[in-house]
Chain A
Amino acid sequence: MSWVDIGHIDEVPVRGARLVKTHIGCIAVFRTAEAEVFAATNSCPHKGGPLSEGIVHGQSVTCPLHNWVFDLNTGEAKGADDGRITTYTVRLEDGRILLDDSAVSRRSAA
Chain B
Amino acid sequence: MKQRLVVIGAGMASGRVLEHLTEAAPDAFDITLFNAEPRGNYNRIMLSPVLSGEKTYEEIVTHDDAWYAERGVVCRFGEKVEKIDREMKVVEGENGHVPYDKLVVATGSNPFIIPLPGHGLDGVIAYRDLEDTQQMMGMGPDNKVVVIGGGLLGLEAAAGMAAHGVDVTVVHIMGHLMERQLDEAAGYLLKKSLEDKGIKIYLQANSKEILGEDGKVRALLLDDGTELPCDLLVMAVGIRPNTGLAQQAGLATGRGVHVDDQMLTSDPDVYAVGECVEHNGEVFGLVAPLYDQAKVAARALLEEDVAFTQKTLSTKLKVTGCDLFSVGDFADGPGRENIVFRDPSRGVYKRLVIEEDRLIGAVMYGDTADGSWFFGLIKDGTSIDEMRETLIFGPAYQGGDTADPLSAVAALPPEAEICGCNGVCKGDIIEAINEGANDLGAVRASTKASASCGTCTGLVEQVLQVTLGDDFQMPAAQPICGCTDLTHEDVRRLIKGQELKSQAAVWQELSWTTPNGCHVCRPAINYYLLADWPLEYQDDPQSRFVNERKHANIQKDGTFSVVPRMWGGITTPEELRAIADAADKYHVPTVKVTGGQRIDLLGVKGEDLPAIWSDLNKVGLVSGHAYSKGLRTVKTCVGTDHCRFGTQDSTGLGIKLEKTLWGSWTPHKLKLAVSGCPRNCAEATCKDIGVVCVDSGYQISIGGAAGMDVKETELLCQVSTEDEAIEVVMAVTQAYREGGKYLDRLYKWLGKVGMDWVKAEVVDDLENRAALVARFELSQSIYRKDPWAEHVKEKAQTYAPIADFTLEAAE
Contact B519 A69 (CB under 8 A): yes
List residues of chain A with CB within 8 A of the CB of B541. 13, 16
Interface residues of B in 787-811 (CB under 8 A from A): 797-798, 801-806, 809
State which of B545, B806, B809 has its C-beta within 8 Å of the C-beta of A64.
B545
- In the assembly, what is the distance between CA of A97 and CA of B98, in Å? 84
Contact B522 A57 (CB under 8 A): yes
Contact B805 A47 (CB under 8 A): no
Contact A18 B802 (CB under 8 A): yes
Of A7, A21, A105, chain B has the most CB atoms within 10 Å of the CB of: A21
Cβ-closest chain B residue relative to A8: B802
Contact A18 B798 (CB under 8 A): yes
Contact B514 A58 (CB under 8 A): yes
Is A12 in contact with chain B by the CB < 8 A criterion?
yes
State which of B522, B554, B797, B802 has its C-beta within 8 Å of the C-beta of A20.
B802
Of B517, B522, B542, chain A has the most CB atoms within 10 Å of the CB of: B542
Contact B806 A20 (CB under 8 A): no
State which of B549, B554, B797, B805 has its C-beta within 8 Å of the C-beta of A104.
B805
List residues of chain A with CB within 8 A of the CB of B797. 11
List residues of chain B with CB within 8 A of the CB of A69. 518-519
Minimum CB–CB distance from B797 to chain A (whole Å) comes to: 8
Cβ-closest chain B residue relative to A12: B802
Residue-by-residue, is A1-37 near B (CB-CB < 8 Å gives 1, otherwise 0)? 0000011000111111011111100100100000000
Minimum CB–CB distance from A81 to chain B (whole Å) comes to: 13
Contact A15 B516 (CB under 8 A): yes
Minimum CB–CB distance from A44 to chain B (whole Å) comes to: 10
Q: A48-B558, A57-B519, A62-B518 are in contact. Are A23 and B546 (CB under 8 A)?
A: no
List residues of chain A with CB within 8 A of the CB of B546. 50, 53-54, 64
Contact B806 A21 (CB under 8 A): yes
List residues of chain A with CB within 8 A of the CB of B542. 13-16, 55-56
List residues of chain B with CB within 8 A of the CB of A107. 809
| 9 pairs of residues in contact across A and B, judged by CB atoms under 8 Å | A11-B797, A11-B798, A14-B542, A26-B801, A53-B549, A55-B543, A64-B545, A64-B546, A107-B809
Is B258 in contact with chain A by the CB < 8 A criterion?
no
Contact A21 B805 (CB under 8 A): yes
Is B16 in contact with chain A by the CB < 8 A criterion?
no
Minimum CB–CB distance from B542 to chain A (whole Å) comes to: 4
Contact A21 B801 (CB under 8 A): yes
Is B598 in contact with chain A by the CB < 8 A criterion?
no
- In the assembly, what is the distance between CA of A20 and CA of B802, in Å? 6
- In the assembly, what is the distance between CA of A84 and CA of B545, in Å? 22
Q: A6-B803, A19-B802 are in contact. Are A58 and B515 (CB under 8 A)?
A: yes
Contact A23 B545 (CB under 8 A): no
Cross-chain pair count, CB within 8 angstroms = 87
Q: A15-B516, A57-B519, A64-B554 are in contact. Are A105 and B802 (CB under 8 A)?
A: no
Q: A11-B802, A18-B802, A22-B805 are in contact. Are A53 and B543 (CB under 8 A)?
A: no
Supplied contacts A50-B606, A57-B522, 15 more A-B pairs, CB within 8 Å: A11-B802, A12-B802, A13-B542, A19-B801, A21-B806, A50-B546, A50-B554, A54-B519, A57-B514, A57-B515, A57-B518, A58-B515, A62-B519, A65-B556, A104-B805
Count of residues in B whose CB is under 8 Å from the partner chain: 30
Minimum CB–CB distance from B544 to chain A (whole Å) comes to: 8
Is A49 in contact with chain B by the CB < 8 A criterion?
yes
A-to-B contact residues, CB < 8 Å: 6-7, 11-16, 18-23, 26, 29, 47-50, 53-58, 60, 62, 64-65, 67, 69, 104-105, 107
List residues of chain A with CB within 8 A of the CB of B518. 55, 57-58, 60, 62, 69
- In the assembly, what is the distance between CA of A55 and CA of B804, in Å? 23
- In the assembly, what is the distance between CA of A23 and CA of B542, in Å? 28
- In the assembly, what is the distance between CA of A7 and CA of B801, in Å? 10
Minimum CB–CB distance from B631 to chain A (whole Å) comes to: 23
- In the assembly, what is the distance between CA of A44 and CA of B395, in Å? 39
Is B669 in contact with chain A by the CB < 8 A criterion?
no
Is B550 in contact with chain A by the CB < 8 A criterion?
yes
- In the assembly, what is the distance between CA of A104 and CA of B808, in Å? 11
Minimum CB–CB distance from A105 to chain B (whole Å) comes to: 7
Q: A53-B554, A56-B542 are in contact. Are A7 and B803 (CB under 8 A)?
A: yes
Minimum CB–CB distance from A76 to chain B (whole Å) comes to: 16
Interface residues of B in 711-751 (CB under 8 A from A): none
- In the assembly, what is the distance between CA of A76 and CA of B554, in Å? 24
List residues of chain B with CB within 8 A of the CB of A15. 516, 542-543
Q: A14-B542, A53-B550 are in contact. Are A20 and B803 (CB under 8 A)?
A: yes
Cβ-closest chain A residue relative to B800: A19
- In the assembly, what is the distance between CA of A54 and CA of B514, in Å? 18
List residues of chain B with CB within 8 A of the CB of A54. 519, 546
Minimum CB–CB distance from A39 to chain B (whole Å) comes to: 11
Q: A18-B802, A21-B805, A55-B522 are in contact. Are A50 and B514 (CB under 8 A)?
A: no
Minimum CB–CB distance from A5 to chain B (whole Å) comes to: 8
List residues of chain B with CB within 8 A of the CB of A56. 542
Contact B801 A20 (CB under 8 A): yes
Interface residues of B in 516-543 (CB under 8 A from A): 516-519, 522-523, 541-543
